Amino acid sequence: MTTLYIAEKPELARAIAAGISESSSTKNGYIQCADGTLVTWCYGHLFEFVPPEKINPEYAKWNLSSMPMSLMPIPIKPTKKAAQQANVIKGLLSKASYVINAGDPDPEGQRLVDEVLEYYKYKGRVGRVLISDLNATAVRKAVAEIRPNDEFKPISMSALGRAIFDYVYGMNLTRTCSLVAQDLGYDGVLSVGRVQTAILGMVVTRYRANKKHIKEPFYDVFAVCNFNGQEYRFKLSPSEQLVSKFPDKFDDKNRIKDQALANQLAAYVSQQGKGEISSTDHKISKIQPPLPFSLSSLQREANRVYGLAIDKTLEITQTLREKHHLITYNRTDCSYLPTDHHRLAPTLLDTINKLVPSLQPVIPYTDTNIKCKAFNDKKIEAHHAIEPTESSKANLNDLSDDERKVYELICRKYTALFLPPAENAVSKVEMTVGNFLFKASRTQEIKKGWKVIFNKEGDVTEDENDDADSNGESGTGDLTKLQQGQFLDINDAPLKQGFTTPPALYTMDTLLQDMNNAAKYITDERLRNILLERDKDSAQNGGIGTPATQAGIIANLYSRKFIKDSKKNVIPTAIGEEFFDALPSFAVKVDLTAYWQEQMDMLAKGTTSITQFQDRVEKFVNSAVYNVKENGLNIKSVNRVHYSCPQCQSKLRFMAKHKFWSCSNYPTCTASFPDVAGRPDLNAKPKAKAEETDHDCPKCNKSKLGKRKSDKGFVWYSCSGYPKCKGSFTLEDGELKPLEFKKKTKRTATKKK
């Protein structure tokens, strides 16, 4: 009986092999343990959905008449990068009598191994092991608790459901919107996605709220008292009764917006002349260190402190983990560490002391007996937070400047866990003046604690709840000198005028923060709670996108020119705003994610089947496509003159990426023309068609080669099966050799010294 573990990633496979066997040998694509157990791995998903044209050849050409596309059930195929490893697993499955699914303990981890078994039609016994900690002790404990894989089929189906919806929705809506827009003169692709378009909606909504904001005044009423040579300032806290009595005189934050009312209240306070201290509260507030980094919080911090793009930070963490072995798994949405990892603190702090000079002065003051809330097994599902590793062979000289910065941020957060809490003295005092309540508060730092290692530029992104009262007024006297029941003379009752401010434009930091808390924009409480419940043990709080996908989604919005940078802000482009206006409202709201999360939850609970789910997806997507086809898109700023192809009279389309005009009837018509000042040069000499030859294409072995000649006399051969086959060759001494295309590189001028 041969047992085969299939891990989600190579590092987990190595941890499993080390946990179940004292000795093992690494083969090509798997590990063989001393007892004969085999351990292999995936690289995340080894399979992907096939493109639409593989489902139906009619979909090879984008055509509005073929929309909506009927794509289900969607076949899968190995990705190009994973084909070799997929083939290794195929061979191992033929030998295995017992397979253990060792994907990450979440729906996606379950699915990516299940799809391997389904693709290769494995019929043997299958178990499931749940490993979230690569520590050898934790691995051995998990391996001792293997459960039947069938128990986890529902969550596998929920992950499949998510992928199906995103694929069918994205493919259909992107093609439909792009084709409708292109008929209006738009050059390019209007990419639609469940998460991507909702993010665009957030950016547009915030931008418009900022620009349309009208500054309005509001007024704070104060009671100023003097006692023992100190001045005390108390601010009026309007009661619910007062606000409800004059609802039109207060804004949504219960601030007085009517100056006449504010003057009346101030006059009343002056007439009273005295106020009674009705309550006092003085305490020492201990502020615990911030939690370790999830990928998203690290991306936010690196962007805010060092201006690093979020995809750059993702790339850096990948290098720090895979090449330098300095950090643990990076694509995590968790901010907690396994309880057992607390014992690693002395070793990890010693490593930090050796590798991070800026932290060396503080390491002697760390206390590894401190065990803060960051160590919590109950908060960990698939992965734990990012933490440094014990890497005795590491050399910081091998790191780039940006890599050192990100590594130091991670080490700084980890080191803070073993420093004392920061302490503030917080005082809150309430004073009654007639029928009105006034408040004052004061916060003073007593001990910096862990904050000593964070300077102003590199402070933490998490909110620090220091219990300061927003009703307080800075500059008030020592509130600890006041006692309950004491009366104070009121010397003045001034007004302070303020002005409302618009919602701040997004920065990359605040956009990421809102993406991870997007549920707050859902008005339907039931739908909002669906996302909040999903993320209850996650670093997200009703978020959209995952830490592993957010960078790519935002990059796509930039590449499609839907959003752009303005100074340090993220704002929509003109076409981004028009696209937002043109799409159905459901497409640009977070509600769509919540609704389909509910459908996926039904799959996870087994209350609906994948077939029923697919029927709902098809019905929903078809309705959305017909909506766009019938009602069109309200896109105006991209209209341009239509140009017809001189050869077949079809419309010419501007290929913005490569700056030329191509016939929309391609590949039936291959006419193309250079761009001159935004117009096709129809007088340019058309490219000569390839001369047919008897040579078979060595690359695809299906089509003949065509002989081509450049303006400068260079001769080469290209496959007539283009674009399916992109083989290009030269004929040298009667032998066809692949033609290598060299990218143009910029020459750097050197100045003479």
Decide if 120 is catalytic.
no
Half-sphere exposure of 494 (CA within 13 A, CB side): 9
Distance from C-alpha of 76 to C-alpha of 298, rounded to nearest angstrom:
34
Q: What is the side-by-side strand order in the sheet with 24-26?
A: 24-26, 30-33, 38-41, 3-7, 98-102, 125-128, 147-148
Round the CA-based radius of gyration of the chain to a whole number and report it.
32
User: Do residues 570 and 507 lie in contact, with contact meaning Cβ atoms separated by under 8 Å?
Assistant: yes
Closest CA to 672 of 650, 692, 701, 694: 650
3-class DSSP assignment, residue 98: strand
Which single residue is written with the structure tokens 């607390």?
342
User: Do residues 634 and 580 lie in contact, with contact meaning Cβ atoms separated by under 8 Å?
Assistant: no
Amino acid symbol at 284: I
Q: Which two tokens stand for residue 54?
A: 């593989």
Pairing status of strand 147-148 against strand 125-128: antiparallel
Distance from C-alpha of 102 to C-alpha of 119, rounded to nearest angstrom:
17
User: Do residues 690 and 708 lie in contact, with contact meaning Cβ atoms separated by under 8 Å?
Assistant: yes
Instruction: Encode 557-581 in three state secondary structure.
Output: HHHCCCEEEECCEEEECHHHHHHHH
Distance from C-alpha of 10 to C-alpha of 25, rounded to nearest angstrom:
14
User: Do residues 369 and 330 lie in contact, with contact meaning Cβ atoms separated by under 8 Å?
Assistant: no
**Exposed, middle or buried by CB within 10 Å (0-12, 13-18, 19+), for 550?**
buried
User: Choosing from 122, 169, 329, 336, which is the catalytic residue?
Assistant: 329
Which single residue is written with the structure tokens 């709840």?
465
Pairing status of strand 98-102 against strand 125-128: parallel
SS3 content of the chain, % helix, strand, coil (to 5): 40, 20, 40
User: Do residues 221 and 275 lie in contact, with contact meaning Cβ atoms separated by under 8 Å?
Assistant: no
Mention every residue, 6+ apart, whose C-beta is less than 8 A from residue 208: none
Distance from C-alpha of 202 to C-alpha of 580, rounded to nearest angstrom:
10
* H-only helix segments in 573-708: 574-582, 591-605, 610-631
Q: Which residues are catalytic?
A: 329
